[in-house]
């Protein structure tokens, strides 16, 4: 599999993370109408605070580009997202994210819970023998994410079947103000929605388009020649 971005982990991403968290918690959160993602999200951040949106996008893209010498433009979508546990049973697989990949160029999360369950981080997976999961006739995730009653045994079997197609290659713990980001072609999942003191709160982002002289890994390969 060819990727354009490396997998990265940056601690202490925001210099003012408590203010970012406070701003996030002031917003209204809503579930996905169709159950396409778990938990609840806010409106797009560029709709909530354009100045903060520009600060964030420049901060993440400056990891790869020098704006003083490179002409770079991008389209990035971002929301705050929170995850109430779906079951009071901490071992229930309804409290575990689904292994999937995103329709974007580059994606990631910033963890915004001060005292998190460290095991509620993110893992990266590679398909076994390039076998990809099939489209399910009835995906129980959509029921779970829209508040419908789900047979936990059937849900667990569905998840185990999906996970059997992958091998875990990298795991990141949940740590306050940690950014984890990856090429969106990578399969990944949230490892747990089980909380310590408070719900799992993150900022999720997707780099949908990017115009630059070279993408990061293409530039790296070119420099090795």
Q: Is 177 helix (H, G, I), strand (E, B) or coil?
A: coil
Joined together, the tokens standing for residue 51 give 């100045």
Confidence of residue 3 (pLDDT cuts 50, 70, 90): confident
- The whole-number average pLDDT for the span 42-69 is 95
Judging by DSSP bridges, how do beta strands 30-31 and 40-41 pair with one another?
A: antiparallel
What pLDDT sits at residue 23? 98
Confidence of residue 225 (pLDDT cuts 50, 70, 90): very low
Q: Tens digit of pLDDT for each residue in 174-189?
A: 999 999 999 999 999 9
88 has pLDDT over 60? yes
**CB within 8 A of 141, min separation 6: which ones?**
35, 38, 98
> DSSP class of residue 207?
E
What pLDDT sits at residue 218? 84
Confidence of residue 2 (pLDDT cuts 50, 70, 90): confident
Confidence of residue 220 (pLDDT cuts 50, 70, 90): confident
> DSSP class of residue 100?
B
Q: What is the pTM of this model?
A: 0.93
Joined together, the tokens standing for residue 167 give 């091998």
């Amino acid at each position: 599999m060819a990727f354009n971005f490396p997998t990265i982990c940056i601690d202490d991403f925001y210099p003012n993370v408590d203010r970012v968290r406070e701003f996030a918690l002031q917003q209204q959160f809503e579930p996905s109408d169709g159950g396409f993602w778990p938990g609840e999200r806010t409106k797009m951040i560029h709709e909530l605070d354009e100045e903060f949106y520009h600060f964030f996008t420049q901060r993440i893209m400056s990891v790869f580009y020098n704006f003083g010498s490179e002409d770079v433009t991008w389209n990035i979508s971002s929301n705050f997202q929170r995850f109430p546990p779906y079951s009071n049973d901490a071992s229930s697989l309804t409290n575990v994210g689904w292994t999937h990949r995103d329709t974007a160029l580059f994606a990631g999360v910033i963890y915004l819970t001060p005292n998190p369950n460290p095991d509620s981080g993110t893992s990266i997976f590679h398909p076994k023998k390039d076998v990809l999961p099939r489209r399910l006739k009835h995906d129980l995730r959509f029921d779970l994410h829209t508040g419908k009653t789900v047979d936990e045994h059937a849900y667990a079997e569905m998840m185990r079947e999906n996970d059997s197609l992958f091998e875990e290659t990298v795991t990141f713990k949940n740590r306050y103000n940690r950014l984890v980001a990856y090429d969106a072609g990578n399969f990944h999942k949230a490892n747990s929605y089980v909380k310590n003191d408070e719900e799992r709160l993150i900022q999720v982002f997707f780099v949908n388009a990017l115009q630059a002289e070279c993408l990061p890994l293409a530039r790296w390969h070119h420099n090795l020649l």
